[in-house]
Each structure stands twice: as structure tokens, then as C-alpha cells.
Amino acid sequence: MEIKLVKDILQANEVIAAQNRELFAQKGVYVVNLMGGAGAGKTTLLERTIERLKGRRRMAVIEGDIATSRDAERIAAHHIPAVQINTGGECHLDGNMVRVGLEQLDFDGIDLLVVENVGNLVCPAEFNIGEDAKVMISTVAEGDDKPLKYPLMFQVSSVLLLNKMDLLPYVAFDVERFRADALRVNPRLEIMPISCTTGQGLDTWLRWLEERTGLQAR
Amino acid sequence: MEIKLVKDILQANEVIAAQNRELFAQKGVYVVNLMGGAGAGKTTLLERTIERLKGRRRMAVIEGDIATSRDAERIAAHHIPAVQINTGGECHLDGNMVRVGLEQLDFDGIDLLVVENVGNLVCPAEFNIGEDAKVMISTVAEGDDKPLKYPLMFQVSSVLLLNKMDLLPYVAFDVERFRADALRVNPRLEIMPISCTTGQGLDTWLRWLEERTGLQAR
């Protein structure tokens, strides 16, 4: 009974996600669903991304949070269109929440829309929102055992950003073990070690985004 | 409709949690529900706790994970009773999962049972499991904005362990801001800065546990 209900919820979500996907295609906007645990550095990565794409791609952001509009305020300070969705306790964004957010967002002429999901390594992985790609952040501070312990998010993501590489000297984290486990869970995963503090690896991430967005990509 | 259903699930959980609580009281065991995001250091804290309580309190552990039995293996290596619950994708433990785990656990004569919840700063906070106290871990690597962004877990916890204090020199984290925000969300919260790497603060944590467990506490 409970399983049946979960199935219904997920199926209803797929319908709305498909409608979102159609709208994104009409507008010619590439959409990234950015996921990761609380404190993995999603908003900071977004800030670094906005700074570096300035003048090269037109970006907009939807911020998903349980409470507060702090992240949307951080993004809006960079003078790009940003909308906050407060989930009111819910642990993830779904297609319908994103649809409601889209109604408040003017994204004509936007090349790239990043939807920052609720900080949670588990639930957001279950819900499509109509995105072109799921991108996840994990960090060296979180430990190298995450791919096998939280496999779904690693399975559904196209890109895995391994953040906080600047902390590597101070933590017990085996990058090769992490990489091997992540690829065992998802052999197609593109793994990019980065640091939003030092800038390490951000060029690779930016190149990945630029290849998928903007006029030459259409 | 969806809200009604969530209410029913939470009420059904309360019934089972109350049965667990009764069983714990009969057995004279103190039960801690240990929560925190993925990679906050829950299992490492447990290992340090087991080592230090050895010969002073009799401990048992229930490990909640989405997949793998890695954490239970880490705990079992310390030669105390340990049971693994795999939630099969679910993002939290509930009263019933814990009840099933208890059936496999011999806890006669046990002073302290720690239930390590699934790594997730959101969902576990919603489900009582019959525990005496909820204890949460947050880390300086996760950022100092968590109490206001993920308020429920801070609200329901008795103790907040601020872990990875050894990383403080390498991250942007304002301990006073974090502490003020956490206390704004929950004025009764006991906040203990700790490091499982250096041992900082663990004495305070152990004293808190010892005061609540063992013969003199009954």
C-alpha cells in the first residue's frame, strides 16, 4: 500500500517533469539539477560559476531550500535572475515545485538555468524536475565511503564534482578509492575534483557547461 | 490528501515508537538516536565513544544505512553487539525499522543503545524511534548557516555535537554565529564542539552520556 502510493507520487512527478522539459526545450535553455548534501558547497559553486560565465552565458537560478531565502539572496547579489522555492519542510524539490518557481522567473534569452536542490544526499535523487543533466557535489570532508553508501545519487548523475580538495591534506580521504567506487556505481560518471576556495578544477567544470550551452550548442 | 497521508504515517510511527520506548524502559537501557548529514562523522564518533566507555558502560549499536553493512562492520570490530538495518532506499529510520532491528539484538544488561540514523540532515528528524534523546552532529566543514536552513533537526535534538573542529583553521566558519543561530532555533540545545581526530571535547560528550546511563543513573 505504501509502496503503491510512492509509485503514484513518482509517476505524477514524471508527468510534470516532462512538461517542464518541453518548456525548457521551447525556450532553448539548458537545465542543470544541482544536488548534494547540506554544506557540500552548492551555493558557493554557483557563485563561482556565475562570476566566470559572466558575459559568456546568460544564467538564471532557482534556489530550493527548506527554510530561509539566504541562498537566493547570495545569488541575487550577482545580478542574475534568481527565484527561491521554500519546500516548507520537504526534503527535495519535485517537478511541481520547480514549475511554480518557473512562473516567477523570466528566462527568455537565458542559456543556462541551474536549479539548486535541497541539501540532502538521498531524496532529491528520486525526483526528476525536467532537467537536462543532474550534477552532484560530494566533498573530501564527507569521507570516501559515500558512493557505495548513498548509491542512487551517484547513479543518476552525469557529473560528480568532488569539492573541497583544498582540505585533502587535513582529512583521511582516499581519492582513488572514492573514484573507483563511484565508477563502479556509475561507469559513465564524469568526476571532476574541484575547490571553490582555490579555484582548482573549475576550468574543467566551466568547459563542461560551456560545451552544453549558448548559441554554438544549439 | 498528501498532507493527510503524511499525518497518518507519522501517527502510526508514534504508536510503534511508544512500544519501543516501553521495551527500552523495561530493559533499563538508555537510547540515543544519533543523526546528522552524510559524512558528518557519526560512525567515527561511535567508535571513539565505544573505546572510551569500554569497561564503564555496556553498549550496543543499531546501524541504519540505505545500502551496505560497512558501518556495522566497523562497529562490530569493537566487539560490542551491533545490528545493521538497510532501509532499501528510505532516507530515514522509523520506529518499525528499529523494532525489527531490536528483534536481532540481545540487549539484556546493556546500559546504552545508540541508533545511528541514515546520513541526512532532514528526514530523520521527523520520526521518533522511542529514543530517550536525539543527538545530532554538524561539522565546521558544512558551513555555519545550517541551523536556520535545516531548523527541524536542531529543534528536536537535545545535544548538538559540532564536529571536525580540527578543520576550523582551514574553513570559513563563524562558531559564534553558528552557536547563536542554533540557540535561536532551540534555546535548550547543549552545544559541544568536538573533534574525533584530536579528541577535543570528547570528555564533555562522554560525561553527558555517563550521567544518563549505568547503575547510578537508575
Q: What is the 3-class SS of B153-165, one letter each residue?
A: HHHHCCEEEEECH
pLDDT tens, residue by residue, A68-102: 999 999 999 999 999 999 998 899 999 999 999 99
How far is the alpha carbon of A26 from chain B, nearest alpha carbon, in Å? 32
- Residue B112's contacts (CB-CB under 8 Å, 6 or more residues apart) are B29, B30, B31, B32, B53, B57, B58, B59, B60, B209, B213
Does residue A203 form part of some domain? yes
Q: Which of B170, B39, B113 is nearest to A143 (CA)?
A: B39
Asked if the structure places residue B138 within a domain, the reply is: yes
Nearest residue in A to B69, CA atom: A149
Query: Do B141 and A164 lie within an 8 Å CB cutoff?
Result: yes
| pLDDT, tens only, B79-120 | 999 999 999 889 999 999 999 999 999 888 899 999 999 999
- Going by the DSSP 8-state scheme, the letter that residue A101 receives in this structure is H
Q: Which pLDDT tens digit goes with each residue over B39-69?
A: 999 999 999 999 999 999 999 999 999 999 9
**B40 to chain A: closest CA residue:** A142
Q: Which residues of A touch B (CB under 8 A)?
A: 2, 5, 9, 37-39, 41, 65-68, 70-71, 89, 91, 118-123, 126, 139, 141-143, 145-146, 148-152, 164, 166-167, 170-171
- Assigned C-alpha cell, B59: 553498549
A186 contacts: CB under 8 Å, gap ≥ 6: A154, A155, A157
State the Cα–Cα distance between residues B132 and A84, nearest whole angstrom.
37
Assign 3-class secondary structure to B83-144: EEEECCCCCCCCHHHHHHHHHCCCCCCCCEEEEECCCCCCHHHHCCCCCCEEEEEEEHHHCC
Q: Which residues contact A213 (CB under 8 A, 6 or more apart)?
A: A30, A57, A111, A112
H or E segment at B81?
none
CATH number of the structural domain spanning residue B92? 3.40.50.300
Distance spanning both ends of chain A, measured CA to CA? 45
Give residue-wise pLDDT tens across range B24-34: 999 999 999 99
Contacts of A168 in chain B (CB under 8 A): none
Secondary structure tally for chain B: helices H, strands E? 8, 7
Residue position matching grid coordinates 567506487: A181
Residue B89's pLDDT is what?
A: 87
Nearest to A157 by CA among A125, A183, A129: A125
Cell of A179: 573514484
Res B7: pLDDT: 79
The number of C-alpha atoms within 13 Å of A44 and in the hemisphere containing its C-beta is 22
- Positions of chain A with pLDDT lower than 50, given as ranges: 1, 216, 218
Residue B181 grid cell: 543561530
Going by their DSSP bridges, the two strands A159-163 and A82-86 should be labelled as unpaired
Assigned domain for A157 exists: yes
For the stretch B204-215, pLDDT in tens is: 999 999 999 975
**Which residues face B134 on adjacent strands?**
B33
| CA atoms of A129 and A21, how far apart (whole Å) | 8
**Residue B215: inside a domain:** no
pLDDT at position A6 is: 72
Task: Evaluate whether residue A164 is within a structural domain.
Answer: yes
Structural domain boundaries, residue A70: 11-208
Q: Would you state the pLDDT for residue A3?
A: 61
Cell of B56: 564503564
DSSP helix/strand/coil, B70? helix
Instruction: Give the total number of structural domains in chain A.
Output: 1
Asked if B75 contacts B47 with a C-beta cutoff of 8 angstroms, the reply is yes
Express each pLDDT in B127-177 by its tens digit: 999 999 999 999 999 999 999 999 999 999 999 999 999 999 999 999 999
Chain A contacts of B121, Cβ < 8 Å? 37-38, 119-120
Residues B33, B117: Cα–Cα separation, whole Å: 7
Minimal Cα–Cα distance from B150 to chain A, Å?
A: 7
Contact A68 B149 (CB under 8 A): yes
Distances (CA, A) of A56 to A50, A211, B113: 10, 12, 56
User: Which residues does B1 contact at the CB level (< 8 Å), separation at least 6?
Assistant: none
Total number of residues shown for chain B: 218
Nearest alpha-carbon partner for A133 in A19, A20, A57, A34: A34
- pLDDT value at residue B214: 75
Q: What pLDDT does residue A214 have?
A: 75
Between CA B121 and CA A119 the distance in angstroms is: 8
The three cell numbers of residue A202 are: 573549475
Query: In this predicted structure, what is the pLDDT of residue B181?
Result: 98
pLDDT for B88:
87
Which residues pair with residue A138 across a beta bridge? A162
Asked if residue B4 is part of any domain, the answer here is no
Q: Which of A44, A120, A186 is the best residue to mutate to test the B interface, defined by the most B CB atoms within 10 Å of its own CB? A: A120
- A1 in a structural domain: no
Using only C-alpha atoms, chain B has a radius of gyration, in whole angstroms, of 17
Query: Can you give the pLDDT at residue B1?
Result: 44
Q: Rg of chain A over CA atoms, in angstroms? A: 17
Record the cell numbers describing residue A120, joined without a space: 540532502
B131: which residues sit within 8 A by CB, 6+ positions away?
B21, B31, B32, B33, B115
B83 occurs within a structural domain: yes
